[in-house]
Amino acid sequence: MNAIEFILAGMLAAATPFLLAALGELVAERAGVLNLGVEGMMALGAAIGFIIVHNGGGHLLGFVVAALASAMLALVFGCVAVGLRANQVAAGLAIGILGEGLSALFGKSYESLTVKGLQKLGVPWLSDVAVIGGLFRQDIVVWVALAATLALWIAMRRSKAGLVLRAVGENPKAARAIGYPVIAIRFAAVAFGGLMAGFAGAYASTVYTPLWADGMIAGRGWIAIALVVFGTWMTGRIFLGACLFGAVSLGGLAAQAMAVAVPSQILTSLPYIVTIIVLGIISSDKRLLKLNGVASLGEPFEK
């Protein structure tokens, strides 16, 4: 397997933790809530999911419990930031630190233990094509993530719920004036973001890298938050951004395997370097950010 085949075969799996967490953050931000605690929620989901799977509960139960645990942590953030109208940046950072601390506490006795991953499912004929065949051999979670991306894209653009969510984010006072419960919608959006972060964390610890190590999320939550801005709050662009970061992270591994004369620390930091560069480029286009941004993002709503 050459470098291109290696990257194509693993790109979607590497992108899935970014993608799941970013989709959840997209919904929260579309409702006007900036949740910077995604990293901690992913870490908590990773620890809980690994513990469940390692103790024989199975991947499905592990994913469900991890998602619920992260959603509960997200609701704590919602109570502080949405209910009590605290500063969303400060509240998100505090909840993120809490999530990482809880993950370290719960996972302490499972350090360096492993679990069995999930079998890959291939698309008939396409998975046997040379070079690109690996792109069509993925585990079930990757296929579900792709379906969720498509479903969210349709919901945001075509469904009444998606339009209401966007209205709450753009002008919460106008949305409330026509009868929509702004606070309840924002709580639901924050909880959904927590669920997706929990799924992303559980996938990272039980499927993509089926072992537990403290700090294994390693900034994926922050990249997921950056992906929402990278994709200018559009589902399709967020998906492409996740694939880009997945490919970049695998590119560093491929370069190390080919003994490229570059320090391994630089290759490992490639996803974060790309994040900074891309965000700098996008932030310079004020028109694009204004066109697709959320007007009330980060602003508390008072009746």
For residue range 95-144, list pLDDT tens digits in order.
999 999 999 999 999 998 999 989 998 888 888 888 888 889 999 999 99
Per-residue model confidence as pLDDT tens digits over 31-68 = 999 999 999 999 999 999 999 999 999 999 999 999 99
Identify the DSSP state of 193: H
Per-residue model confidence as pLDDT tens digits over 229-271 = 888 899 998 999 899 888 888 887 777 667 676 776 777 777 7
Domains assigned to the chain? 3-292 (1.10.3470)
Q: How far apart are CA 198 and CA 187, in angstroms?
A: 17
Residue type, 266: I
* Number of alpha helices (DSSP H) and beta strands (DSSP E) in the chain: 13, 2
What does pTM read for this prediction?
0.92
